[in-house]
Structure 1
């Protein structure tokens, strides 16, 4: 069988092209732990300096737990702002419970809640909480882009009391949301399509909603017990 050899210059060109293509790919930062499993270091209550001593957010059995009672509440937010990132965590919700993972949150004092600026990945007991049947086509169920997009894969959540693995990727104006390995949402974070989604949601006319390209990541206080663990992030 006759063998054909590529000219040396052609081989060099191929190698150079591959090298340039690799260099052009976006560099991913290293994974960083957002929760050490023991303390709330790196977090604070939305628009408050640090964590109050009587906070409802406690650490139990290696998880951040929101408890009910007479203690101080408020959404828990990261100390650091994030723009393009990949976030992974596990969450568990109580029976009939509701919470959320909210990103690109502004702490400008004119905004009184994290959800006034940040889009939300829903955390919910789909079987018992009425929000699951509100909205349109399941856009308020667990894992969904809250009130804005029909789930690509419905019913991906595990029942209340069981751990769910969530993944959120925000990169260069695009977002993807996953729950238990299944893609739930995919959407642009700005532009005409995003504007149309906002206009068809409860957030229509909200001044700062979805307008920030960087911001805090928030774990929502919705007055129901919820747990989060194994929280890590890498910047893109």
Structure 2
């Protein structure tokens, strides 16, 4: 009887292990379900072959891989840009920022302007407590930068891992940070135009005008880490 109970316990543990492997992926890996659903990795934990530096053919050496994360080790590395462009997609990734740090995730980026953010909307990454750009709520982490403020419930302290999800479909943009929705707006709509008119982008020509563009990871001079970068193209 005791042996039977032990065998059942071992069988249950084995079953749970199998379920865990199939449902929860290790860092920078896809689960079987994610693969079936059409997700793709943009970083596998070992190389940055799907990225390059803004307006450059390769990745600047100040971007390194540390502990399975794309890491800006020092300022001056320049912004990273995806080699491929995307139109309709769902993007997920994890990030953490150093104390007093600033960075960002950009979408619909091109290389026509002087900077990666010349035409690209940005989802802010920030140490909300220490960085001096914390005076405006639309500049806090998870915000659609200078346009829509993220809820306090989505914030974590610097040094902790955060999750971001961005969905763009037919110009309808929705952003989540740490499973909390932080922005929802349709690019080009009356609501969008009103937000732009009240922002720093009011006088920026061609801002968010593109229907398709690169993804970007910002070098704002501070150490930042990115991992589990996954994308699913829609339509």
**TM-score if structure 2 supplies the norm length?**
0.82
Task: For 1:94 and 1:150, locate their aligned partners in 2 and report how far apart those are by CA, in whole Å.
Answer: 21
Structure having the higher helix fraction is 2
Query: 2:7 aligns to what?
Result: none
Query: 2:176 aligns to what?
Result: 178
1:36 deviates by 1.1
Q: Answer whether contact 1:93 1:226 (CA < 8 A) is retained.
A: yes
Match of 1:67 among 66, 73, 85: 73
Query: 2:64 aligns to what?
Result: 58
Task: For 1:29 and 1:214, locate their aligned partners in 2 and report how far apart those are by CA, in whole Å.
Answer: 22
Instruction: Please provide the CA RMSD for this pair.
Output: 1.4
1:191 deviates by 2.5
Number of residue pairs the alignment of both structures matches: 199
Task: For 1:168 and 1:130, locate their aligned partners in 2 and report how far apart those are by CA, in whole Å.
Answer: 26
Q: What SS does the aligned partner of 1:139 have?
A: helix
Q: Answer whether contact 2:140 2:149 (CA < 8 A) is retained.
A: no
Show the 5 A alignment for 1:71-82.
Answer: 72-82=76-86
Query: 1:113 aligns to what?
Result: 115
Runs of 4+, deviation exceeding 3 Å: none
Show the 5 A alignment for 1:1-236.
Answer: 30-52=38-60, 55-68=61-74, 72-108=76-112, 111-134=113-136, 138-151=137-150, 153-236=151-234
Q: Answer whether contact 2:105 2:215 (CA < 8 A) is retained.
A: yes
1:158 deviates by 1.3
Query: 2:22 aligns to what?
Result: none
1:29 deviates by 6.4
**TM-score if structure 1 supplies the norm length?**
0.81
1:184 deviates by 0.7
Between stretches 180-189 and 96-105, larger displacement belongs to 180-189
Q: Deviations over 1:98-155 (max 9, x none)?
A: 00000000112xx011111100000000010121213xxx11100000001132x224
Task: For 1:130 and 1:215, locate their aligned partners in 2 and report how far apart those are by CA, in whole Å.
Answer: 30
Q: Answer whether contact 2:153 2:180 (CA < 8 A) is retained.
A: no
Q: Deviations over 1:170-209 (max 9, x none)?
A: 1112111101111011111112221111111011111121
Q: For structure 2, list consecutive stretches of 5 or more residues without a partner in the other structure.
A: 1-35
1:50 deviates by 1.6
Distance 1:197 1:29, change over 3 A: farther
Q: For structure 1, list consecutive stretches of 5 or more residues without a partner in the other structure.
A: 1-27
